[in-house]
Structure 1
Amino acid sequence: MMEWLFVPAAYLIGSVSSAIIICRLMGLPDPREQGSGNPGATNVMRIGGKKAAGITLLGDMLKGLIPVYGANLFGVPIELLAATGLAAFIGHLYPVFFGFKGGKGVATTIGVLLGYSWFLGLAFVATWLLIYKISKISSLSALIAAVLAPAYAWFILGSPTLVEASALMTAVLLWRHKSNIQRLLAGEEAAIKP
């Protein structure tokens, strides 16, 4: 069987930078050179508005969802399903097509979690929305949702393998958001206006 091909395919799909492509198509500045310098939906919103950010968010989610959902439909072993999700996530963070300099991974994480289980992905999104409604701070919302994701995975899926995959993505998300965490602790992280 060629099931293992889901992993490199997921990495390549994850390596397609929605932010950079959308900004180019919409005539916007390169998100790596404007705002926070991060090629993700939040920075695209800063430099291009809600429409561009929404399309970017959808693209980043789909590149996590499509390979994992495909692997799920194909009935791959749970370890390979977990690896497929992680490969898509790593592709977003270190995209081969864009000099291995990618985004922070929140939207792609949502897509991966949706691929593992719709309920798991929706639990992440619901947490993000709740915290954002209270704080208006995107990074804080993402960090809290990410920290809770492994617990959600345990209660919803009960699979140690997928809990470990979720925990690994959480750890990497925290590391990728270290500057945001420093600003949050200093009370300097900016809110995003709705």
Structure 2
Amino acid sequence: MMTAILLLIAAYLLGSLSSAIIVCRLMGLPDPRTQGSNNPGATNVLRIGGKKPAAITLVGDSLKGLIPMLIGHLLEVGPGVLAGIGLAAFIGHLYPVFFGFRGGKGVATALGVQFGLYWPIGLCVAAVWLFVAKVLKISSLSGLISMALAPGFVWLFWPEKVLIGMQLIITGLLVWRHRTNIRNLIEGKEGRLTTKAD
């Protein structure tokens, strides 16, 4: 029980490290919470800083979900604890204790959780994201579609109720965090994937 509690706390604290804010500070870029979409995520860093800081942010956010899950596997915890770890890391990204509980929207961290849970799940979700992004060039729509399908991928590869439940909660929170994007999509105002150079 103590191991599980420590893992949950550690996952939340790791999730609370905002890669976008840290990367922008280290690279002399504006605070992503005050520029572009005001979202501390890789897509907004791409807008204000270009591809390199965005790529670093994407990797950092993904690792926040991946590392705790891999540690859980290493310690051979059960599906219930794995589900808790994934949720803790994801919620840490959304509501980071180190940055005034103003976090990102969670797509990259959720993807890290999925790869850490079982790599084919992450691979399928990533493939959907990349396909939609390539065709439509709208990051938010790519994230929404891929995460909407994610519970089905969990069910397909690891049909454990608690893990499917974890992904349903992650998907629900992610949709909530994208509510402004959804409104913009409906109104035809959502921005496309662009870089600072564009």
Quote the offset at 1:160 in angstroms.
1.1
Q: For residues 184 and 38 of structure 2, what CA distance do their matches in structure 1 show?
A: 16
Quote the offset at 1:73 in angstroms.
1.4
Following superposition of structure 1 onto structure 2, how do residues 7-18 of structure 1 map, counting pairs within 5 Å? 7-18=8-19
Following superposition of structure 1 onto structure 2, how do residues 1-194 of structure 1 map, counting pairs within 5 Å? 2-4=2-4, 5-193=6-194
Structure 1 segments of 4+ aligned residues over 4 angstroms from their partners: none
Q: Any conservation in 1 of the 2:32–2:40 contact (CA below 8 Å)?
A: yes
What do the CA deviations read for 1:59-82 (whole angstroms, capped 9, x no partner)? 000011001111111101110110
What do the CA deviations read for 1:87-107 (whole angstroms, capped 9, x no partner)? 000000000000111000000
Gaps of 5+ in 2: none
AA in 2 matched with 1:49: G
Aligned length: 194
C-alpha RMSD of matched pairs (Å): 0.9
Give the share of equivalent positions with the same residue, in percent.
58
Gaps of 5+ in 1: none
TM-score scaled by structure 2? Answer: 0.96
What do the CA deviations read for 1:126-162 (whole angstroms, capped 9, x no partner)? 0000111110000000000010000010001111111
AA in 1 matched with 2:2: M
Q: For residues 71 and 2 of structure 2, what CA distance do their matches in structure 1 show?
A: 13
Q: For residues 53 and 131 of structure 1, what CA distance do their matches in structure 2 show?
A: 19
Secondary structure of the 1:158 match is coil
Structure number with greater CO (CA < 8 Å, separation at least 6) is 2
What do the CA deviations read for 1:156-190 (whole angstroms, capped 9, x no partner)? 11111111101100000000000000011111111
